[in-house]
Amino acid sequence: MKVILASASPRRQELIKMITEDVIVNPCDCDETIKEGLVGREIAEYLSKIKGKAVKEQFEEEIIVSADTIVCLGDAVLGKPASREDAFNMLRSLSGRTHSVFTGVTIIKGEKQKTFSQETKVTFYDLSDEEIDEYINTNECFDKAGAYGIQGKGGLLVKEISGDYFNVVGLPVAKLKRELNNF
């Protein structure tokens, strides 16, 4: 099955290959402004939809998969940090607490479309300022929602997860495989 992956994320590009090797990577260039009133899961699903629709005209006959992952601490959405200070503040806020990671996924082929999302709960250890600084010094945090990557050294901050690990990395591959089979 040939899949068009509408994502620039190297992690998603790796993960989709668990489902199929026949992948064309075509990152979208679209306005990712979030509509007012959306929260958590709704934001992730909305962003995945606009990414998929942005590449739809180029690939009418192929299956398009688009995704977006967000980190939520309560009602606050923690995006990619803009600075070292921003990363520090995000990681400080996650310290010793449980947060939700939502990945919204949209599958499109022609006029048919399916959107779903997956939630994983992640709990961090209590982190000292030194631990946070040490992690930030890896520079791993700057292109990741919530300022950490569970698949790298950010995994050392995580006490436990409840749900799909791959969802936190950026693509819930087991659920996506089933949705593609039913699509």
Report, as residue numbers or ranges, the catalytic residues: 68
The amino acid at 87: A
CA–CA distance, 29 with 44 (Å, rounded to integer): 17
Burial class for 44, CB neighbours closer than 10 Å (0-12, 13-18, 19+)? buried
Classified as helix, coil or strand, 134 is: helix
Between the CA atoms of 9, 47, 53 and 58, what dihedral angle is there, to the nearest 10 degrees? -20
